[in-house]
Chain A
Amino acid sequence: MSETMGSRRQRYWDLRAAGNFIGGGSGTGLIIAAAVAAAYGNAFRETLMLGIALIAVGLALVWFEIGKPWRALHVFFHPRTSWMTREGIVAGVVIPLGVAAAMDASPTLAWLTAVFAGGFLYCQARILRAARAILAWRQEEIVALIIAAGLAEGAALALIVGPRGGIGLGLAVAAALAREIAWRRYRDGLARKRGAAASLAVFAAPPARRLGLLHRAGLGLIAAALIVPLSSPWFPDTADARVLLAIVGGASVVLAGFGVKVLLITRAAFTGAIVIPITPGTSASSLSPQDEGRFATKL
């Protein structure tokens, strides 16, 4: 029996893990959208509660995924270096704080929740960045991508469930644009890395291309909703059109974002291949300079 060791797709984190990044990202985005709404004196309680619920659902999905769910509290044991521990700790602050903010209808608490939710999303991004076996995750641009994606999904979701004023539309356009830029920078960075061909092939395949198209279409629709005049002699029902554009555009951005995360976690997650760092006929050693000195060859 023998085996070769090429790049292979990880098989341990499935849709449940993807669900955590989907729920955590869109939940955080919603909480931030709720805080912005609160700052402008708009209703925010429902949006905030939905954001909290999404984060909680994402974490529950992880609970269903781990091998020893009844030991879940052990996740808090290693805050010194583990981003997963830090994610759990911050979630333990965000959820009760968010519930309190919604119950009290307090804009101050809503903003405080948004700050901690931002920290939660940052932890999620760093979880992927620290997964050094997975080429598509360890990429440095993943941090900006996960944060921008979360904000875009949340702001877009807010257009579906919440008020669709100019501030909400502007926030969604800015976030969706940032996510598009982050996505391009991420893919460009990955393309420069050796051994990432399998991941890039997933991102170049028709499902990913369709999701990209969906995101850009959604961005265009939300931008159109932003610039549609509130009243027009040619279209008297522009308010309805604006709502329709915002909802369809928002749904497009949300679906595209969820789909890309599913691809990123379950399909594009390949390990690096084992490569022998020398070739026959060469004389270079790959030992570190310290070891080179220590084990000076006697050849």
Chain B
Amino acid sequence: MTRYVMVADLRRCVGCQTCTAACKEGNATPPGVQWRRVLDLESGTYPEVSRVFMPIGCQHCANPPCLEVCPSTATRQRDDGIITIDYDLCIGCSYCIMACPYDARALSDRPHYAFGDAPTEAEAAGAHAKMVGVASKCTFCAGRIDAGTARGLIPGQDPEATPLCVNACISGALSFGDIEDEHGRIVKLLAENRAFRLHENEGTEPGFYYIWDKGTL
């Protein structure tokens, strides 16, 4: 069984937001809606503090609270662990937004373009119009994964089958792949480094791991 996850190496991330820009460009999300964000956080207490850049977004949880509350079944979980939203089913009640402990979802209630009143080329080509009035979030670029795997490519290894944010990352902080692949990069990364997941106590089993090392960031 495949389960796609993302790994962010917090020692490598420099907070450049290139992943944010790549996601926004590729998915044509409305202004104010960012599926991939990089938080600028402080960790520890004085004088033992570090500045940490933390990429976040949908954690593609194994036990997603958003799926449980969704009244329309628009939110679904694929066999490969990716959580999707069917824009044609969603009623835009925002309940999933209230249920997500990771603040990963957003709703844009009217057509809203990046530049003026008309859509850009990317906005016109993407699902921008379908996103109005419904919840949206990171899809792990499921369309790219599906198109890539159909051609025999491997997500996380072959750029054409890999999420845009991972491809764009300038420092190699973001990695993507199948956590069930015992010989894959993800398992190796997690075996060789210390890692944590956000809000582990929620029982959501996020598919997003953060690497740190030897007690320091």
Contacts and interface: CB of A to CB of B under 8 A. Distances in A.
B202 interface: yes
Contact of A74 (B91, B99, B205): B91
Interface residues of B, number: 67
Contacts of A3: 37-40
Contacts of A278: 43, 196, 212, 215
Contacts of B154: none
B52 A10 contact: no
Q: SS class of chain B's interface: helix, strand, loop or mixed?
A: mixed
A279 B39 contact: no
Nearest to A74: B72
Contact of B90 (A65, A68, A296): A68
Interface string A1-23: 11111001010110000000000
Contacts of A285: 194-196
Interface string A105-121: 00000000000000000
B130 to A, nearest CB: 11
Interface in B74-116: 74, 89-95, 97-103, 107, 109
A78 B127 CA distance: 25
Contacts of A271: 103
A54 B17 CA distance: 48
Contact of A77 (B54, B56, B71): B71
A291 B207 CA distance: 12
A67 B40 contact: no
Contacts, number: 188
Contacts of B72: 71, 74-75, 77-78
A231 interface: no
Contacts of B174: none
Interface residues of A, number: 57
Contacts of B90: 67-68, 71, 74
A148 to B, nearest CB: 22
Contacts of B74: 74
B214 to A, nearest CB: 6
A1 B17 CA distance: 7
A82 B17 contact: no
Contacts of B101: 132-133, 272
Given A4-B39, A271-B103, A81 B68 contact: yes
Contact of A88 (B43, B71, B190, B202): B71
Interface in A41-85: 62, 65-69, 71-72, 74-78, 81-85
A281 B69 contact: no
A274 B71 contact: no
A12 B94 contact: yes
B117 interface: no
Interface in A276-294: 276-283, 285-288, 291
Interface in A127-146: 127, 130-134, 137
B134 interface: yes
Contacts of B70: 78, 82
A111 to B, nearest CB: 29
Contact of A281 (B37, B44, B65, B132): B44
B185 interface: no
B191 A84 contact: no
A10 B98 contact: yes
A130 B39 contact: no
Given A3-B37, A66-B93, A297 B194 contact: yes
3 pairs of A and B residues whose beta carbons are closest in the complex: A67-B92, A67-B133, A2-B40
